Structure 1
């Protein structure tokens, strides 16, 4: 590969001249409630709305990037199917001000005690 054919010059005005070294603040909150068979939670990783590139030479707001506040809700429930098998349905609900509501669903099957005995028999006993 001939790297001399790449144009890696600094001819991007906005990238090379818009380095203002600002430090945006970030504070988040969260809460998780749980017991032996379920959990639920709420989280807001960043409480402040932050704008980037708002001091460009353009007068339009089309070039301003805004980091919106994200809110997350999580939950799961462990259901005993048999003595050795458990089922865990879970969800994640995400809310952002300028985007549609997003829902992620997941399932998990958990094998209990069988794996421990298989480990003990295979690795610890001669």
Structure 2
């Protein structure tokens, strides 16, 4: 089995509940996915609908090892929606799509196991 730093790392330092609440993690539905050939590491460009209050936001996701473009549209994903936008090449990523590394280090998207309304907040 391949071990990586994500699974081998000790737990992070303790944070308060107020610290946790400052990170706004929401559910959204991927409405568009396209290749991102200009990215330094293989990635896709995603547009994710977080409901009427937050709207559609863009994200770059390094998930090409485990997902095909055709299976992404319609999939719900979790993302941090209150980080500052990040310029990735010529693409402005507005949210951080969340995932976990599998045994090979490939990213597996973090999502609810049953559908929830877009914009629902993790608590």
| TM-score between both structures, scaled by the size of structure 1 | 0.24
Larger Rg: 1
Question: Larger % of strand: which?
Answer: 1
- Bigger relative contact order (CA 8 A; separation at least 6): 2
